[in-house]
Structure 1
């Protein structure tokens, strides 16, 4: 299996983003995803800046992929995606069907991101006809569903595309036209002041009883726990997973990457240092505590 660094979910200052990726390109990764996937108001880096960074990092020999927004609400946002699609060099991770349509119109291959609704082999077949080369499964996809989709593809006589699964990070659970961070801080969405830049790993949210509940990240809701799928390595391989995605976090990402690279080269499974992904085993998504 290979390792990828997924797109940055959080809003970091421009120089922090640039320094992070200039360091990440030296880590033992195979693929780096670049781009804003959560909120179009986050403009520390604009499409031209992501493209310039992609050109810079491509010299490393790693695969560089540009990622699109998961929720497209305005013509200007569609224009930004079009600039990414028309880059002429790098694959696009399409996180919305509008991005798929732009790729299809141009006859360009694409990667299906985790926010596309693919729950059966027929949908996967249709997107392959449109140009899908790799599928990043949704965080709610478990082992049983992936096995069912793979069996359906085999029955239809069509090979599975490359399969990528989130193996480290908080699970993105939902997106909304509303900004949860702005609401939590009692400011209007259009006058948010980009408050999420003050929360480099999201804003923890508790229940009224004070129990940890989830993390809010602009218009995105995440699970509270950082999920660790390293102990499921053999199950992931048996399920046909080709790439393990590691989601960027603010601290010690180099250590996370090194741990997963060591895991792939070892006969032994590592102890769990994050939380379980309940979805993987067909249970409720709320992760249990580490073993």
Structure 2
């Protein structure tokens, strides 16, 4: 039996409907993921294009034996976005909540506390469990020690960690992608689709710094655990969440599957990931209680 399970987080980037449909077809047919999160988390303007695609993807994934969970917007600001979030909140099935306004409309129906909620301590986790939380995806800034403290407080709550991908750091009311192309947010022309893993940002000293994805700020580096699977599970981690990127995610998932079965050490995992076409260098600082940009060891 695997020491930990694998989940695939919601797609954060603006991929074309054709690319998205082909991507989830491979995830359904070829991947070892137990759970797949679907839905637009970043920008509601993308939803009309991807809604039908995600509905078909959900059917195919469920047919392949995957658990499918729909994720809410992380920053529903307009009345239209609040209405969409409210509709998702009314669904009886388990959903992932990424904004407190969704939770307040949820009643006591089961939900996953997504990584965009501010759950930084045991008290917050216990309060969410009392409100119907059945699973927690830990905030990306939390150290493994902090996650372990939450686990001890609510030992029956499954905990996921962001185990692969650029780290989602912040959201804004402004669209960075549109601004970079001298466009207004309301007339953005969906230019974020030009950067399938986000647009890299460099400092005035020409150093890699961050990445932007519409209204979202991401890390430049690609986060990996940086510790053994035994250390992760001892800290309460039950599931490794991988974030979709344009790299071959089936290859990435298979490497993490070997890691989750304790058949591959973290050093080997990092070395093999480093050989793939990743959008940035491997980092692993946050879980170790260090700066998030700390490089992962690959040797």
TM-score (norm 1): 0.91
Would you say 1:15 and 2:18 are equivalent positions?
A: yes
Match of 1:213 among 209, 213, 219: 209
Aligned partners of 1:51 and 1:87 also within 8 Å? no
Aligned partners of 1:230 and 1:269 also within 8 Å? no
Q: Distance in 2 between matches of 1:264 and 1:167?
A: 11
Q: Distance in 2 between matches of 1:116 and 1:189?
A: 25
Would you say 1:243 and 2:247 are equivalent positions?
A: no
How far did residue 63 of structure 1 move? Answer: 0.5
Residue range with higher mean Cα deviation, 227-236 or 217-226: 227-236
Q: Distance in 1 between matches of 2:264 and 2:216?
A: 36
Aligned partners of 2:283 and 2:292 also within 8 Å? no
Would you say 1:269 and 2:272 are equivalent positions?
A: no
Would you say 1:119 and 2:120 are equivalent positions?
A: yes
Would you say 1:180 and 2:184 are equivalent positions?
A: no
Q: Figure out how many residues of one structure are paired with residues of the other and give that number.
A: 283
Structure 2, gaps ≥5 residues long:
275-281
Aligned partners of 1:213 and 1:223 also within 8 Å? yes
Q: Distance in 1 between matches of 2:157 and 2:12?
A: 25
Q: Distance in 2 between matches of 1:101 and 1:56?
A: 31
Partner of 1:102 in structure 2? Answer: 105
How far did residue 25 of structure 1 move? Answer: 1.0
Partner of 1:288 in structure 2? Answer: 295
Match of 2:42 among 38, 45, 52: 38
Aligned partners of 2:21 and 2:54 also within 8 Å? no
Aligned partners of 1:94 and 1:100 also within 8 Å? yes
Would you say 1:148 and 2:144 are equivalent positions?
A: no
Q: What are the equivalent positions in structure 2 for 1:50-61 lying under 5 Å apart?
A: 50-61=54-65
Alignment deviations for residues 82-140 of structure 1 (CA, whole Å, 9 cap, x no partner):
3333444x421000011112222xx3100000010111111111111110000000110
Match of 2:255 among 248, 253, 259: 259
Alignment deviations for residues 64-90 of structure 1 (CA, whole Å, 9 cap, x no partner):
0001111010121122223333444x4
Q: What are the equivalent positions in structure 2 for 1:126-205 lying under 5 Å apart?
A: 126-151=127-152, 153=153, 158-205=154-201
Q: Distance in 2 between matches of 1:264 and 1:277?
A: 17
Q: Distance in 1 between matches of 2:53 and 2:248?
A: 25
- In the superposition, relative to structure 1, how do residues 44 and 250 fare at CA in structure 2: closer, same or farther (>3 Å)? farther
Partner SS, residue 10 of structure 1: coil
Match of 1:3 among 6, 14, 30: 6
Partner of 1:72 in structure 2? Answer: 76
Aligned partners of 2:28 and 2:60 also within 8 Å? no
Would you say 1:228 and 2:224 are equivalent positions?
A: yes
Structure 1, gaps ≥5 residues long:
none
Runs of 4+ in 1 over 4 A off after TM superposition: 46-49
Partner SS, residue 197 of structure 1: helix
Aligned partners of 2:119 and 2:125 also within 8 Å? yes
Q: Distance in 2 between matches of 1:287 and 1:160?
A: 31
Aligned partners of 2:14 and 2:192 also within 8 Å? yes
Aligned partners of 2:17 and 2:53 also within 8 Å? no
Q: Distance in 2 between matches of 1:61 and 1:289?
A: 33
